[in-house]
Structure 1
Amino acid sequence: MKPKVIAVAGPTASGKTAMAITLASQVNGEIVSADSRLVYKGFNIAAAKPDMKERQGIPHHLIDIVEPEFDYSVGNYYDDARKAIYDILSRGKTPIVAGGTGLYFRILLENYNLPRVEADYKLREMLDLKEKDELLEELKVLDNITYERLKDANKRRIVRALEVIKLLKKPISEMDIQKEPEFDVEWKMPVLTSRKDLYERINKRVDMMVEQGLIEETKYLLKKHGRIKNFVCTIGYQEILSYLDGEWTLEEALDKLKQHTRNYAKRQLTWFRKNPELEINI
């Protein structure tokens, strides 16, 4: 019998954090974050990281575990999340994997077998110098199937795909990427009434982030870490940095932040629609 895990997936601002915390209190559970930005220390307001009050005494795993300078990979997440899940199970509790990073769910709880390829930082830097459209054209030539899967992905994922293809000298689509799921998963998602409602929630969240100190947090992180990649490529910080640099007014920066977050939510929904266990009607 496979170990039982509950998964709470959903786009940003959908209410999945509150849902996971409520579930955890009902089933004697602990939460394993599935969010690629919550792993970073100091990424609080922009990442909508739940504070200790919001967590209501429920243990959370894989939050604030590395400094932003560290390039935390999907492979790192897979190893750390499995360790957390089995630790929770060993203590007779229920693991609840909750978040919005679709790839994390895919490799941890679904049937995707992650190719284990050591990072080649020199190759990655060379690829990163190219524009996203140029990278997509190269990916299309080398692996059209993977191109179709990643053409709407962020630049970082496209760079990593090209890195893997070049190092293994083989298209990802020809690799054995299917595996038997390790866990018996009960999938859940907050009820989404309409896309309009979700977008309104996103807009309100951005306004709340500013009230909570998003601008001050951005200044603090800039002073502490400088313009490192994980910082300047994070939605929330990148728009406020443009405001601080004088490129946009504050109003323009917040409008862009709302737009970018809505676009991100659309990409999340597209990813989660691939999972037949999740019913998405918006």
Structure 2
Amino acid sequence: MSATKYQMLAIVGPTASGKTTVAAHAAQLLDGEVISGDSRQVYRGMDLGTGKDYEDYVIDGQPIAYHLIDIKEAGYEYNVYEYQQDFLQAYADVRQRGKFPVLCGGSGLYVEAVLKNYKLIQVPPDPARRAELETKELAELTEILKALKEDLHNTTDVETKKRAIRAIEIERYLKDHPEIDRSMPDINSLVVGVKFDRLSRRRRITERLKQRLDAGMLDEVQALLDGGLTPEQLTYYGLEYKYLTLHLVGELTYNEMFKGLETAIHQFAKRQMTWFRRMERQGTPIHWLDGYMPLPEKLERIQDWLNG
């Protein structure tokens, strides 16, 4: 790879945008390795539901190294603090071996925690406050969290009571400890986004959902339940795992599950794009690629931006 002022390439975009393919080929071009920026691909056994697309990491028969995929057991509740620590270790490892890091993901909070040097800490649980919050409904918890956070961008924090209670716990802890200052190293990154127009994105999401169901996504969720995870644990992961679990336990018909999940993924992709646009407004330049652009042209553009 020719010299560049950048220390990392980040490939972002909504679900079903083809960003993994771009990231893997960019890593091959740059003698690099991919570091995942996905909040659910960390879990083993959650493959189809999280869209790991392992085949994207093999190009012309050669494997492309990736990091932060399959590092935790399903059922564990991973968080952005842990991700930041794991990312720093992976990044240092990739750089130390003379490879070029390529961050790839659509989890806006995780990606931004790296790109914008979020100051994160490990927040201990507070049993007394948890017991108090457990008595409240999700709508009330959402209002409490909104009062603690100036802007509630991460709507996954209020998908379930459990998530909302933990988010409130973290915000209260940070307000009670204003002296805490945890800095991240500055990593000069070129951020590239991949996107399709809205109608194309919706079509791709629906096609991809059908493909994953045909490939055995229901069997994957059933295996997780058979392996000892409770329906509540799987519902925690949202989207595919929420809707497929509700179908498997008899609360939704197949058609209800498909339509509900399809709508939820469309809404999720829209929130992802909203997140990336907000990042741009707040000072993170994102160089956008049209998803329909041929892959060689995408890679050429990336190389030009890196060398620019």
User: TM-score, normalising length from structure 2?
Assistant: 0.80
Question: Match for residue 85 of structure 1?
Answer: 91
Letter in 1 for 2:112: R
Q: How many residues get paired?
A: 275
Counterpart in the other structure of 1:139: 145
Kindly state the Cα deviation for residue 86 of structure 1 after the two structures are TM-superposed.
0.8
Shift of the 266–281 alpha-carbon distance from structure 1 to 2, 3 Å rule, reads: farther
Show the counterpart of 1:161.
Answer: 167
Pick from 53, 56, 62: which aligns with 1:54?
A: 56
Which deviates more, 33-42 or 67-76? 67-76
The residue that corresponds to 1:31 in the other structure is 34
Say which SS state the counterpart of residue 189 (structure 1) adopts: strand
What one-letter code is carried by the residue in structure 1 that aligns with 2:44? K
Report the CA distance between 1:55 and its aligned residue: 1.0
CA shift for structure 1 position 201: 0.6
Instruction: Tell me the alpha carbon deviations over residues 103-146 of structure 1, each in whole angstroms, 9 at most, x when there is no partner.
Output: 111211214222442344664576466433111222244x2xx1
For each residue in 1:57-109, what CA deviation from the matched residue of structure 2 results, as whole angstroms up to 9, or x when unmatched? 00110111111232212111111111101110011110011011111112112
Asked if structure 2 preserves the Cα contact closer than 8 Å seen for 1:136 and 1:151, the reply is no
- Cα distance in structure 1, aligned partners of 2:205 and 2:273: 14
Tell me the amino acid that sits aligned with residue 83 of structure 2: Y
Matches for 1:10-29 after TM superposition, within 5 Å:
10-29=13-32
Q: Give how far 1:161 is off.
A: 3.2
Show the 5 A alignment for 1:210-229.
210-227=213-230, 229=232
Task: Please state if 1:246 is matched with 2:254.
Answer: no
Shift of 1:180: 7.2
1:113 aligns with 2:115: no
Q: TM-score by structure 1 length?
A: 0.87
| 1:253 aligned counterpart, secondary structure | helix
Aligned with 1:4 (options 7, 19, 25):
7
| 1:79–1:248 distance in 2 versus 1, CA, 3 Å | same
Distance change in 2, residues 1:162/1:104 (3 Å): same
Provide the identity percentage: 32
Alpha-carbon distance change, 19 to 124 in structure 1, aligned in 2, over 3 angstroms? farther
Q: 1:151 Cα deviation (Å)?
A: 7.3
Cα contact 2:157–2:167 (8 A) shared by 1: no
Q: Is the 1:112–1:177 Cα contact (8 Å) retained in structure 2?
A: no
Q: Deviations over 1:203-257 (max 9, x none)?
A: 0111001110011111111110321655222311211122222222211111111
Aligned partner letter, 1:10:
G
Q: Distance in 2 between matches of 1:103 and 1:134?
A: 24
C-alpha separation between the residues in 2 aligned to 1:229 and 1:41? 18
| Partner residue, 1:72 | 78
Which structure 2 segments of 5+ residues have no match?
291-308
TM-align CA RMSD: 2.8
CA contact (8 A) 1:5 1:97 kept: yes
Contact 1:32 1:95 (8 Å CA) reproduced: yes
Shift of 1:157: 5.5
- Give, in whole Å, the separation in 2 of the partners of 1:175 and 1:280: 38
CA contact (8 A) 1:20 1:98 kept: yes
Counterpart-to-counterpart distance in 2, 1:121 and 1:80? 27
Shift in CA distance, 151/210, structure 1 to aligned 2, threshold 3 Å: closer
Name the amino acid aligned to 1:64: D
Shift, 1:168, TM fit = 4.3
3-state secondary structure, aligned to 2:73: coil
- State the secondary structure of the residue aligned to 1:154: helix
